[in-house]
Homo-oligomer: A and B are copies of this chain.
Amino acid sequence: MSIEANIDDQTGEELGYLMKKLMSEGSYDAFFTPIQMKKNRPAYKVTALCNPLDQEKITKLFLKYTSTLGVRYQTLNRTIMKRHFDSVETEYGVVGIKIATYEEIKKYSPEYDDCEKIAKENQLSLAEVYQLVSNEWQKNKEEVI
C-alpha cells in the first residue's frame, strides 16, 4: 500500500531525516515528489510504500516526524517478477547477482551494495564496477533459471 502526505511547513533537513526513519522502520520504499501548493508554496509530497500490516506503524512515523495532520492511503495491486540470487567472483571480490524472471522476460542486476564497496575500495566509478561484474557474469553464466 502507499501512505502519503503533502508537506509545506517543514524543512528539507527534517524531510531528509524522515527518509532515514521511513527506510529503517520497515517501508519497502520512500520518496519525495516536488509539488506546488496554494499561496505560492513550493512543497513536497512524501510517499511511503509498505506492507499493509505496517500501516499503523508507518502512519505513526508520518504523524510523529512530519508536520502533517493526516495521511492518505491507497491500496496498490502489484505484479512482481520472480527473484533468484546468484553471485560472481571478480578480481576485487564476490558480487551478488539478482536474477528476475517473468514468463519469457529475464533480467539480472548486480547488488548495489557489493558494487559500491568495490568502487570505494578501488577508486573506481560505479559504472566501471558494473562493467566488470557484467563481463564476469557473461563469461560464466550457465544459469538455467
- Residue numbers of A with Cβ under 8 A of B are 2, 6-17, 19-20, 23, 29-45, 49, 59-60, 63-65, 67, 69-74, 76-81, 83, 98, 100, 102-103, 105, 107, 109, 112, 116, 119, 125-127, 131, 134-135, 138
Pick the contact of A7 from B12, B16, B135 — CB < 8 Å?
Answer: B12
A77 to chain B: closest residue by CB: B73
**A8 and B13 contacting across the interface, CB-CB below 8 Å:** yes
**A69 and B64 contacting across the interface, CB-CB below 8 Å:** no
A81 to chain B: closest residue by CB: B69
List, in ascending order, chain B residues with CB within 8 A of A64's CB.
Answer: 105, 125
Using known A-B contacts A38-B40, A70-B79, determine if residue A9 contacts B6 with beta carbons closer than 8 Å. Answer: no
Task: Determine the distance from Cα of A102 to Cα of B2 in the docked complex, in whole angstroms.
Answer: 20
